[in-house]
């Protein structure tokens, strides 16, 4: 049994011939084309939400507490000296 749900919705009649043409040119069934588009839209929406959350968190950062990359590398125990 597949882990899916059935969607059923109205679509504008005037766009239907073009939809069928796009699906044929892409070599996709209507179901696969619609699924691909809907999943892509959901993922893009989630990306925008996450980016907005990150932006809000960045606004809350007190830049006076930031340290230089050199200091961060030193504290992490990294150095640019290659061992021979």
pLDDT digits (tens, 9 = 90+) for 9-66: 999 999 999 999 999 999 999 999 999 999 999 999 999 999 999 999 988 888 888 8
Alpha-carbon distances of 15 from 12, 19, 24, 35, 54, rounded to whole Å? 6, 6, 14, 18, 38
Under a CB-based contact definition with an 8 Å cutoff, are residues 27 and 20 in contact? no
Q: pTM of the prediction?
A: 0.64
- pLDDT score of 35: 96
- pLDDT score of 80: 67
Kindly tell me if the per-residue pLDDT of 82 is higher than 80: no
Kindly tell me if the per-residue pLDDT of 83 is higher than 80: no
- pLDDT score of 79: 75
Distance CA 77, CA 80 (A): 10
């Amino acid at each position: 049994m597949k882990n899916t749900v059935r969607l059923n919705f109205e679509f504008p009649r005037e766009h239907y011939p073009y939809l069928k043409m796009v699906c044929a040119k892409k070599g996709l069934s209507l179901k696969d084309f619609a699924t691909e588009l809907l999943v892509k839209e959901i993922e893009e929406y989630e990306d925008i939400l996450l980016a907005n959350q990150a932006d809000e968190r960045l606004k809350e950062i007190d830049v006076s507490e930031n340290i230089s990359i050199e200091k961060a590398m030193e504290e992490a125990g990294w150095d640019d000296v290659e061992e021979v």
